[in-house]
Chain A
């Protein structure tokens, strides 16, 4: 067996009463790709933060290359050859690639010599690992896939032998993800050790050598990837059997409930993000919009829900027009039966500082059910919140708890409960299961399909292709602000992937 690059022995970490990591033992062999999977809140990020010096373990030992070490800051970790690529990139947007690479490693007051040195070193790294990036490009002008490459280069530049990647494919297209995996394999061949944190089991199967599963702060199993299955891993993660694909019957599409014609939306900088988009959503069907993040889906949702003004377009709700170019207000649309589960639940769909019950009326706080004159009817709000907590199995079931203290999945359930329980005619949902654990995903998908079966029109936008394919009755693909194709639910991933990358669209244009 290869020598261990990292050994974690008996790691414990508590935050107050919550034991985020209990007695964790982990051994990562040198020159391998080791996956760590687990639901949100299982303790994966805490464990990696301990390894990278953000947190101190309460007890336990870390060994790097066989020697016991103490890591109290990220500088210690870097000195030991541990590099981390965060889920949210730690790059300065208006700096060039080169400037970002030397950030924190500038050795002199004058940058000239370090820049020259960095340039030649970067050149060598790029050639060695096939990580081509223009060193003089400004970060904000690079696509996310390349930005991630810069993060990897940054770690390598600092001499990382062990790379930790936290949910690296969340923002990538399937093609970009494939490219990333090729890079990781190349790094592995060069003798680097890679730790991959993810909740996507298929990625684990595709690329890792070994996989460890965490659940509720403990390490429940370590398997050789070749000898395990997706089903087994999912079961280990959740602690019970899960349905990976929700079963659903044929859709019985009825009348058109939401009709969008020639909708054009610009963002705050005046760039056209949604370009002449038209589609219909009928009652009793789920229409899924697939696409790589940033191709106008967010703006489309914001425009239809009245949050962002559209430039032009005709939108009909239940056969009656709504003026999205200036007059429409999210409150008015809600009254007309359009419910919206926004993509960003942390800043839009919820107020994290509020108690759970306060969030359960957000947007419906004008409703006289929750009011006594100008006053909030606290008893009615509480009863209503408790009712939703029960129906949607929101945990912990305490309506007085601060919303920030709920896990991602439960926060999403709070939003879904609020929007679905208003019995809307049209439900639009952005990223229904982003940052949500496997158990809750199953629940949310079932609920969405139940809405459909009640004859509601459901529009789902997601960057998770699997989700779109398993939920939708019709799939629209967005690329560069346009709908570039419509497919049935049986479209292959490759077919959709090409559309998402704009390939077919460009061919068609020629």
Chain B
């Protein structure tokens, strides 16, 4: 039988449908807000104003978005090779270890612009290494990547707890974290960028990692759609049999894809560690790896979509924090519910409204809908 889905014009596919899904998520979230006795419209205003209203809000939104761009790209690269990397969380955590080692060693002797490239390499290498082991197990032993990467999140967490309460903790300190880095390991802020638009910034953590994230988004696009390696990854991702036929080594492609994915995850740690906290603390990743899965899916595994989805989630983080502050009835957990609804409608229920929209398009303008449906076998 032919596929039941006809094609939609691109703008509907990439614009209209996500917008409808998002709107429904917010409407349902509005009911949840009503349920706790608050005015959903006022809540929405606070959320959006908190995220984009003031310069500081925008800076925070983009700071969070930076983190999610990295994790979203990480998940997407693996997904193009049909590998579901749930280990972004752990790979980012271990990436933080690489950064800590570089910064703690050199922050007294080198300026930031020398340390930064070294830290990028270290973060990528550590993240890639954490992706390499599950990849090897998948390629050589057939251990399922979903299972192993989840387990590696726990191993990463345990390793980091051990290091942060032991070897990496300064003597006498009670906090499970490294010592604070010296000025040499602090990345420049990007607040001036927002101030260019006339907004005032008090203090916000937005830093040059945002630019790095955008560069990486471009490089990921280049990798996936313009290089031989990306071609091989996509071939394997769509059909492992076709990859075998084309002479693409399964082992090599799985390991390469997971290492690239792990490297991107590791780079995520640069943003909070060198850009904001200036130390490595326990649980500094705090779920950003998992948000990356939602960001990648919502962004349709395309870097442009991922950047946009990351900004959306950055907005939910920043605006949500404001909301929890302004409306005491709405707790931090409620924000998580709203985020969950976005993930539910934009990710899991992505195709819920699709058939109706297609029917609508087909009845209004048959030409806009493609010819996919008649091209199965037979007919």
A residues whose Cβ falls under 8 Å from a Cβ of B: 14-18, 20, 40-46, 49, 54, 87, 166-167, 197, 305-307, 329-332, 334, 340, 342, 344, 347-354, 358, 362-363, 365-366, 371, 374-376, 378, 404-408, 435
Contact = CB atoms under 8 A, between A and B. Distances in A.
Given A18-B371, A332-B247, A366-B247, A348 B377 contact: no
Given A40-B379, A365-B231, A376-B226, A349 B245 contact: yes
A17 B378 contact: no
A44 B379 contact: yes
Contact of A405 (B238, B245, B371): B371
Kindly list the 8 A-B residue pairs having the minimum CB-CB distance in the complex, ordered from nearest: A331-B247, A16-B369, A15-B373, A45-B378, A363-B246, A330-B247, A18-B371, A351-B238
B373 A16 contact: yes
Contact of A371 (B6, B228, B234, B371): B228
B283 to A, nearest CB: 38
B375 A347 contact: no
A20 B228 contact: no
Contacts of A407: 375
Contacts of A354: 234-235, 238
24 contacts: A14-B366, A15-B371, A16-B366, A16-B368, A16-B373, A17-B367, A17-B370, A18-B373, A20-B374, A41-B375, A49-B1, A87-B377, A329-B249, A331-B248, A348-B239, A348-B242, A351-B242, A352-B238, A363-B246, A376-B226, A376-B227, A376-B228, A405-B372, A406-B375
Nearest to B245: A348
Contacts of A43: 374, 379
A4 to B, nearest CB: 25
A212 B249 CA distance: 49
Interface in B4-24: 6-7
A353 B239 CA distance: 10
B373 to A, nearest CB: 4
A16 B1 contact: no
Contacts of A344: 241
Contacts of B238: 351-354
B244 interface: yes
A15 B370 CA distance: 8
Contacts of B6: 15-16
Nearest to A407: B375
Given A331-B246, A404-B375, 13 more contacts: A16-B370, A17-B367, A49-B1, A307-B244, A330-B245, A331-B248, A340-B245, A344-B241, A354-B234, A354-B235, A362-B245, A376-B227, A405-B371
Interface string B50-79: 000000000000000000000000000000
A167 B375 contact: no
Contacts of A307: 244-245
A121 B248 CA distance: 53
Contacts of A40: 377-379
A9 to B, nearest CB: 21
A374 B366 contact: no
Nearest to A42: B379
B89 interface: no
B244 A365 contact: no
Given A14-B366, A17-B369, A329-B247, A45 B242 contact: no
B337 to A, nearest CB: 35
B322 interface: no
A405 to B, nearest CB: 5
Contacts of B245: 305, 307, 330, 340, 342, 348-349, 362-363
Contacts of A17: 366-367, 369-371
B229 interface: yes
Contacts of B366: 14, 16-17
B232 interface: yes
Interface residues of B, number: 38
A406 B379 CA distance: 13
B362 interface: yes
A343 B110 CA distance: 61
Given A16-B6, A45-B379, A350 B242 contact: yes
A353 B231 CA distance: 12
B374 to A, nearest CB: 5
Interface-central residue, B247, B368, B370, by most chain A CB under 10 Å: B247
A408 B246 CA distance: 20
A374 B233 CA distance: 14
A354 B238 CA distance: 9
Given A347-B241, A350-B242, A435-B377, A375 B227 contact: yes
B150 to A, nearest CB: 28
Nearest to A197: B378
Given A16-B6, A16-B370, A167-B378, A366 B228 contact: yes
A351 B228 contact: no
Given A331-B246, A348-B245, A405 B375 contact: yes
Interface string B15-38: 000000000000000000000000
A374 B377 contact: no
B378 A348 contact: no
Contact of A347 (B232, B239, B374, B377): B239
Between A15, A349, A404, A406, the greatest number of chain B beta carbons within 10 A of the residue's beta carbon is seen for A15
B358 to A, nearest CB: 9
B110 to A, nearest CB: 31
Given A344-B241, A376-B226, A20 B247 contact: no
Nearest to A46: B379
Chain B CB within 10 Å, residue with most, of A40, A45, A305, A351: A351
A356 B111 CA distance: 50
B247 A405 contact: no
Contacts of A14: 366
B379 A358 contact: no
A362 B242 contact: yes
A42 B1 CA distance: 15
Contacts of B375: 41, 404-407
A405 B370 contact: yes
Given A44-B379, A351-B235, A362 B226 contact: no
Nearest to B236: A351
B241 A375 contact: no
A168 to B, nearest CB: 13
A15 to B, nearest CB: 4
Contacts of B2: 15, 45
Contacts of B1: 49, 54
Interface in B195-244: 222, 226-229, 231-232, 234-235, 238-239, 241-242, 244
Nearest to A361: B231
Contacts of B232: 365
Given A40-B377, A46-B379, A349 B242 contact: yes
A349 B2 CA distance: 20
Given A344-B241, A350-B242, A362 B235 contact: yes
Contact of A348 (B229, B234, B241, B371): B241
B247 A374 contact: no
Interface in B260-311: none
